[in-house]
Amino acid sequence: MAGKTLYDKIWDAHVVREEDDGTALLYIDRHLVHEVTSPQAFEGLRMANRGLWRSDSIVAVPDHNVPTTTANRGNGTAGITDPIAKLQIDTLDKNCAEFKINEFHMDDIRQGIVHVIGPEQGATLPGMTVVCGDSHTSTHGAFGALAHGIGTSEVEHVMATQCLIQKKMKNMLISVDGKVGEGVTAKDIVLAIIGEIGTAGGTGFAIEFAGEAIEDLSMEGRMTVCNMAIEAGARAGMIAVDQTTIDYVKGRPYAPVNTDKDNTWDKAVEAWQDLHSDDDAEFDEIVRLYAGSIEPQVTWGTSPEMVLSVNANVPDPASETDAVKSKGISDALAYMGLTAGQAINQIHIDKVFIGSCTNSRIEDMREAAAIVKGKKVADNVKLAMVVPGSGLVKKQAEDEGLDKVFIEAGFEWREPGCSMCLAMNADRLEPQERCASTSNRNFEGRQGQGGRTHLVSPAMAAAAGVAGHFVDIREIK
């Protein structure tokens, strides 16, 4: 019999019962909750007179709607000017109080984007099943966990039963072999992967990312890669546990510890040693990429798969023979305000956004700060903002003086939240504004109606802010 994949192992360990047709009840260890996709679930519980199965499995935080300007923070939700957004966060606070859920409120230094704070607190552990009413829950798979987004009905289902009704996905291995070149980051790797397999390439699969270039990544880089698994169509992305994983988890508030009575940490670490695919595991599909050929990436269109090297030219619909694809290219170019064949490094930008659950951790801040240090934001750039992923990331960055580096260069230094990643609050693009963004989605209107998003790494976004257009960061010294 063939060995098991990492996904097989975690799946098997969490099946409570399974029907003959493969429909399973899957036990959920960790449930992360935020303000946007939870109110209707709490309401549903109340209407059916149901309680929570296990309130200690839930960690809640407001993130999508919170203002990121300092003037609007520090006084609970009182500073939220949009009454509908305020009501949503007040509702989360009220629900968490009523159902006795541990919540990091807006003023708590631990508040931040749900996918940043879960790992930061050690609430995401290897081998766990993790769900959240948010598609970027795939982020947590970086810890050798099975983590995926769910809809609000499922949020309610997990709250009431601690289980999800699931069918097993197929296994895909994406191996990034060899080492990446200088200046090529986790973001470039994952964008290149999506460019290769397409936004539906992973549909129906759990993807395991492997290979030397993935093993070489820090936990933060691994989170960036897994974060965008959903952009390749896969609900879950994951990476095997190794020493890097264990070192990151150790000592975090929710992580196990050894006590006089019990050496729980040691036992956990021992159990985690098995969280990798067996050598003879079988995958339904295997994709290989050569790390050495990946260059800094920039998306040019309205889907993350529309991505190329910074030194490439945007495609020409006329040279695409497939009529549907050709129309896709011309629609995207029209929306993005680009001309066929234009050099990507000649595209000028209006705004820079460094943040989101893809790239708002301390290493991202450091990478971007290293580029802007001693420089100024270009004249044509109207707004450049840095939004740290959590209060703790913000503090760490400030302790290292990174905030000053950004502010001196002309960037705005904001409070943590989702911000211009999805533009639910005042942080947004105006029609036709063009943005170099470290977020994960460049869909039409994602950062504001008519706004034009180019997805890049933090260093590339910072460099574009300084140059006023995209530049190959490998040429900056």
Partner 1 sequence: MEKFTKHQGIVIPLDRSNVDTDAIIPKQYLKSIKRSGFGPTLFDDWRYLKAGEPGMDHSKREIHTDFVLNQPRYQGGSILLARENFGCGSSREHAVWALEDYGIRAIIAPSFADIFYNNCFKNGILPIVLVEEKVDALFTETNLKEGYRLTIDLEHQFVIEEDELLTEKTPFEVDEFRKYCLLNGLDDIGLTLQYSDDVRAYEEKRKQQTPWLFA
Partner whose footprint covers residue 101, from partner 1, ligand SF4, none (CB < 5 to 8 Å by kind): none
Q: Is 272 in contact with 127 (CB distance < 8 Å)?
A: yes
Query: Rule CB under 8 A: is residue 317 a binding residue for partner 1?
Result: no
Among 1, 71, 84, 323, binds partner 1 (CB under 8 A): 84
* DSSP one-letter code for 251: T
- Long-range contacts, stretch 14-21, CB < 8 angstroms, 24+ apart: 14/129, 14/146, 16/163
How far is the C-alpha of 124 from the C-alpha of 113, rounded, in Å? 14
Least Å distance, CB 107 to ligand SF4, is: 19
Least Å distance, CB 421 to ligand SF4, is: 3
- Give just the sign of the alpha carbon dihedral 465, 459, 240, 270: negative
Residues 120-159 that bind partner 1 (CB under 8 A): 125, 127-128, 133-135, 137, 148-154, 156-157
* DSSP one-letter code for 74: S
Going residue by residue from 30 to 69, which x/- string records binding to partner 1, judged by CB under 8 A? ------xx-xx--x----x-x--x--x-------xx----
Residues 15-74 that bind ligand SF4 (CB under 6 A): 63-64
Kind and range of the H or E run holding 393: helix 391-399
- Residue 239 class from Cβ within 10 Å (0-12 exposed, 13-18 middle, 19+ buried)? buried
How far is the C-alpha of 413 from the C-alpha of 55, rounded, in Å? 35
Residues 337-356 that bind ligand SF4 (CB under 6 A): 356
Query: Rule CB under 6 A: is residue 422 a binding residue for ligand SF4?
Result: yes
Query: Rule CB under 8 A: is residue 196 a binding residue for partner 1?
Result: no
Least Å distance, CB 73 to ligand SF4, is: 17
Residues 361-420 that bind ligand SF4 (CB under 6 A): 418
| Residue closer to ligand SF4, measured from CB, 14 or 414 | 414
Partner whose footprint covers residue 19, from partner 1, ligand SF4, none (CB < 5 to 8 Å by kind): partner 1
| Residue closer to ligand SF4, measured from CB, 135 or 345 | 135
Going residue by residue from 229 to 258, which x/- string records binding to partner 1, judged by CB under 8 A? ----x-x------------------xxx--
Least Å distance, CB 216 to partner 1, is: 28
| Residue closer to ligand SF4, measured from CB, 124 or 440 | 440
Least Å distance, CB 408 to partner 1, is: 33
Among 12, 70, 82, 288, binds partner 1 (CB under 8 A): 82
Residues 439-458 that bind ligand SF4 (CB under 6 A): 439-440
Least Å distance, CB 304 to ligand SF4, is: 12
For 440-460, give the DSSP string: S---TTTTSTT-EEEE--HHH
Partner whose footprint covers residue 440, from ligand SF4, partner 1, none (CB < 5 to 8 Å by kind): ligand SF4
How far is the C-alpha of 295 from the C-alpha of 308, rounded, in Å? 9
Strand 102-103 relative to strand 58-60, pairing:
parallel
| Residue closer to ligand SF4, measured from CB, 309 or 440 | 440
Among 192, 422, 436, 466, binds partner 1 (CB under 8 A): 422
Backbone angles phi, psi at 272, to 5 degrees: -70, -15
What residue type is assigned to position 11 of the chain? W
351-354 sheet: strands from edge to edge: 412-413, 383-386, 351-354, 434-437, 452-455
Query: Rule CB under 6 A: is residue 421 a binding residue for ligand SF4?
Result: yes
Interhelix angle 362-372/458-467, rounded to 10 degrees, is: 30
Partner whose footprint covers residue 339, from partner 1, ligand SF4, none (CB < 5 to 8 Å by kind): none
CB count, 10 Å around CB of 171? 22
Q: Is 176 in contact with 282 (CB distance < 8 Å)?
A: no
Q: Is 101 in contact with 50 (CB distance < 8 Å)?
A: no
Where along the sequence are the contacts to ligand SF4 (CB under 6 A)? Answer: 63-64, 113, 115, 134, 136, 356-357, 418, 421-422, 439-440
